[in-house]
Structure 1
Amino acid sequence: MNLLIKSATIVDPNSTFNGQVLDLLIEKGVVVKIGKGIEKSGVEVYDAAGQYISPGWMDMNVTFGDPGLETKEDVDTGCAAAAAGGFTAVALMPNTNPPLHSKSEIEYVKNRAKGKLVDVLPIGTISQKREGKDISEMFDMTQSGAVAFSDGNKPIQDAGLMMRSLQYASAFGGLIISYAEDAAIADKAKMNEGPTSTLLGMKGIPNLAEELMVARDIYLAEYTGSKLHFTTVSTAGAVSQIKAARKKGLQITADVAAHHLLLDDSVLEGFDSNFKVKPPLRDKKDIKALKDGLKDGTIDAVVSQHTPHEIEFKEVEFEVASYGITGLETVFPLLNMSCEKVLSLEKMVYTLAISPREILGLEVPAISEQSKANLTIFDTDHEWTLSESNIKSRSKNTPFIGKQLKGKAFAVINNNQFIKSIA
């Protein structure tokens, strides 16, 4: 792949070219020259005037259905959705059938994703079969390519299991990812507990269900001296606890789902099951705390929590509908619309491209000469409408179809490949 990108504004806190409007010449997947007025014959030219270029983005909370649930999403359609959303790498949660609970499943995913523009990095389970009983063979999975460990959308209820998992993983530098929910408190409720749940006559999930587990896991991380990552935090109390833990010097990191930064639980008044997610959409006070947490560094990364479902799992009564949004293609506009007055553009890029890789111990791409081209080209001002026909994901369970969005990824470059998205 030989490509000349013209007049792009570079956004990369780690680059000496940060903030400059320059051309980038890419040959055979390597950035060979960065400067003004570069000319080269026989190469594809991309005019990036008025657009930004950053290190390629990474989403560290994504679910595909491969293996076993390919009718929801397979690796091919998932990677297409990721590229359309501006991502050059995704970390896959083990919510498959069978789960990613041994080296065989990890190697299967790695082999399925070979040759893709998008780097697909599997997350192994904490417990065997995600049953929350016995620890999985985490070290073996690490040797096969697992980048972290989580039971995905199944929280670890057994404190002893979580403690032993932290101890085991820390022995070889592994990372445990906690989805914090006390299932006994959340019970079978379907939305956030508050005025809206009372108005709708629906049982609510209190913030306590999340905050109690955050507190437990922080104590366990402190006791074991282990590093721990919280995924999709959603409450002000959780943010406060994580902030306090970091001040104590604990190795705690966290991410937030993009939809939790924009939507509050009042959108459920229409009983649209595409807004049904877990953790549930919270209230405006929680949203403010999440944004403040991103701004001050308490929350490190923004994720999609991409959760694809077939139509029969969503177009049913709200009570019985499955949880989740297909979010890979809308992460950036949601972040841009919710935080454009809160976060600098550099901070947005940090949460999307740099921090996820730092958390997972991966090499962070940088915009420099003679470096591998791992890049995302995007526009913060472009307004567009998401249509079902343009969605690359196999599943269409998103509440943003037909909605006007602001901000879009226009191209991704990685692994000597170049993909442009639809304007």
Structure 2
Amino acid sequence: MKSALLKAVTILHPESSLNGKKTDVLIENGIIAGFDVPGDENTRVIDCAGKYLSPGFVDLNANFGEPGLETKEDLDSGIKAAAAGGFTAVVAMPNTQPPVHSKAEVSYIVNKTKNAIVDVFPLGTISYNREGKDLAELYDMNMAGAVGFTDGDKPVTDSGLMSRALLYAKGFNGLVMSYAEDSLIAGKGKMNEGEVSTYLGMKGIPSLAEEVMIVRDIFLAEYNDSKIHFSTISTAKSVELIREAKKKGLKITCDVAAHNLVFSDEAVSGFDSHFKVKPPLRTQKDIKALIAGLEDGTIDAIVSQHTPHEIEHKNVEFEIASYGIIGLQTVLPLLVKAGLSPEMMVEKLAVGPRKILGKQMPGLTKGSTANFVVFDTESEWEFNSDTNFSKSVNSPMFGQKLKGKVSLVVNNNQTLNF
């Protein structure tokens, strides 16, 4: 789209003087050409009444299968799903085969996704091969373009290794992300430990498994005077622990998966394996605490935790099904369902993630490079095989009508309409 005029769109950009105002936005060749000015006869006019324009969303936790697991999701399909969800940047987890544990894998992802409509920022592993034994090549991966380090869905159980990672990354201002789970406490649990798991006769994962690891990593971050980011927290106590650590002035940030703000462990009662995620769906009390944590700033960002699987990994008994759901295209509808305001959505999807990564906010002035999403919270659409851009279909919302829709994404002089 060389030239487009977005008519009567409401701006949601905390750093813009137009924040909260309704205006017309003229885009020419990927650049914001002006506000409340007409285009020429070749300009495409798009009615955006009732819609919001905000900086493009950034997802801090998405799993793409490439390299090695392309049958789940390759980079191209992942980018399309991300754009359809309103994301102009995605932080890719290193859960691939081989894992992203050296500069070779980081460079592959950076080069393969160069100039795509969605910027893909790779994460490197903390440990070589995600084995939790030896430190991976953190500095080399950082120089190649890795924006942080995590062992993905494998917790770093060795406290000494995590401490060394924090101290080493501190030397070049690297970001270490913690997936907080004590695997010995979690054991072979399949869902949240509580009344529902007892009723269903299923082994549960106690909240304690998450909280113990959060306590450990808070102590390690304090000891090393380093920053740390907690990925996908899920319990009320976790929110409380991080809130207190932040009050002490520790350099701690955290995020929550969108599905953990809506679905509770009661959803598992029907043994639908699409509700099998990790961390597990917790209780209504936990959901309430997570939303309170978003409101008071304890939780900095919301993520999709997009985890695609082939059908044979999900269309099986709950006990043996793989963990995870696809989530890039359903974050916005879930946040609408959770009752979050559009302003809060922008804060946790566009502003917070960029602060965590140290990335500059896209400008919204004449002459700025266009990097934004247009969305609304009222439009309904069906998530089905026609609208799904992922290679996988493992979502409890598949086949359902959802409320909240992305209609336009612009980034890197490219535009997609949905």
> Does the TM-score normalized on the shorter chain lie above 0.5?
yes
2:352 aligned with 1:355: yes
1:279 aligned counterpart, secondary structure? coil
Letter in 2 for 1:417: Q
Deviation at 1:403, TM superposition (A): 2.2
Q: Does the aligned pair in 1 maintain the 2:4–2:39 contact within 8 Å? A: no
Residue 43 of structure 1: how far off its partner (Å): 2.2
Alignment of structure 1 residues 90-105 onto 2, 5 Å: 90-105=90-105
In 1, the alpha carbon distance for the partners of 2:128 and 2:398 equals 37
Say whether the 8 Å CA contact 2:191–2:280 is kept in structure 1.
yes
Q: Which residue of 2 aligns with 1:146?
A: 146
Secondary structure of the structure 2 residue equivalent to 1:211:
helix
| 1: CA distance, partners of 2:110 / 2:96 | 14
Superposition deviation, residue 90 in structure 1:
0.2
Counterpart position of 1:19: 20
Q: Secondary structure at the match of 1:82?
A: helix
Letter in 2 for 1:386: F
Distance, in Å, in 2 between the alignment partners of 1:3 and 1:246 is 44
Structure 1 residues 226-272: Cα deviation after superposition (integer angstroms, max 9, x where no partner)? 00000100000100000000000000000000000000000111100
Contact map agreement 1:128 1:135 (CA 8 A) in 2? yes
CA distance in 2, matches of 1:403, 1:286: 25
Q: What amino acid maps onto 2:51 in structure 1?
A: Q
> Once the two structures are superposed, what CA deviation does each residue of 1:138-176 show, in whole Å capped at 9, x if it has no partner?
111111100010000001000000000000000100000
Structure 2 residue 392 is matched with structure 1 residue 406: no
Partners in 2 of 1:49 and 1:39 — Cα distance?
A: 18
Aligned partner letter, 1:94: P
Alpha-carbon offset, residue 356 of structure 1: 0.4
Q: SS of 1:219's equivalent? A: helix
- Following superposition, the deviation at residue 181 of structure 1 comes to 0.1
Q: 1:383 aligns with which of 380, 384, 387?
A: 380
SS state at 1:389 partner:
coil
2:245 counterpart residue number: 245
2:325, 2:350 → 1: CA distance?
21
Q: Answer yes or no: is the 8 Å Cα contact 1:291–1:339 preserved in 2.
A: no
Aligned partner letter, 1:350: E
- Which letter does structure 1 place at the counterpart of 2:384? S
1:336 to 2:333 alignment = no
The answer on whether the counterparts of 1:4 and 1:40 sit within 8 Å (CA) in structure 2 is no
Q: TM-score of the superposition, structure 2-length normalised?
A: 0.98
For 2:115 and 2:19, locate their aligned partners in 1 and report how far apart those are by CA, in whole Å. Answer: 30
Write out aligned runs for 1:252-271 (5 A).
252-271=252-271
Matches within 5 A, 1:95-244: 95-244=95-244
**Of 390, 393, 405, the match for 1:393:** 390
Deviation at 1:189, TM superposition (A): 0.7
Gaps of 5+ in 2: none
Distance 1:115 1:44 in 2: 24
Residue type matched to 2:379 in 1? H
CA offset at residue 404 of structure 1?
2.6
Say yes or no: does 1:7 pair with 2:4. no
Which residue pairs with 1:28 in the alignment?
29
The CA distance in 1 between the partners of 2:67 and 2:58, in whole Å, is 22
Quote the Cα distance in structure 2 between the aligned partners of 1:356 and 1:9: 22
- Cα distance in 1 for partners of 2:161, 2:361 equals 32
CA distance, structure 1, for counterparts of residue 335 and residue 255 of structure 2: 13
Residues 106-146 of structure 1: CA deviation (Å, up to 9, x unaligned): 00001111231000000110000110001111111111100
SS of equivalent to 1:234: coil
**Normalising to structure 1: TM-score of the pair?**
0.97
> Shift of residue 369 of structure 1?
1.6
For 1:3, the aligned partner's letter is A
Any stretches of 5+ residues in structure 1 without a counterpart? none
Quote the Cα distance in structure 1 between the aligned partners of 2:373 and 2:30.
14
Q: CA deviation at 1:345?
A: 2.1
2:272 aligned with 1:272: yes
Q: How many angstroms does 1:4 deviate by?
A: 1.6
Quick one: distance in 1 between partners of 2:287 and 2:338?
10
Distance 2:105 2:44 in 1: 38
In structure 2, C-alpha distance between the alignment counterparts of 1:2 and 1:139, rounded to whole Å: 42
Q: In the TM superposition, what whole-angstrom CA distance separates every residue of 1:88-108 from its partner, at most 9, and x where no partner exists?
A: 110000000000100000000
Q: Which amino acid letter does the alignment assign opposite residue 30 of structure 2?
A: G
For residues 16-50 of structure 1, what are the alpha-carbon distances to aligned partners after superposition, in whole Å with 9 as ceiling and x for unaligned?
A: 01111111111121112122x52322122222111
Q: Counterpart of 1:17 in structure 2: which amino acid?
A: L
Q: Percent identity?
A: 57
Cα deviation, residue 383, structure 1: 2.1
Q: CA deviation at 1:364?
A: 1.3
The 2-side partners of 1:251 and 1:366 are apart by 26
Q: Distance in 2 between matches of 1:347 and 1:12?
A: 11
Tell me if the contact between 2:9 and 2:48 (Cα under 8 Å) persists in the aligned partners: yes
Partners of 2:100 and 2:360 lie apart in 1 by 23
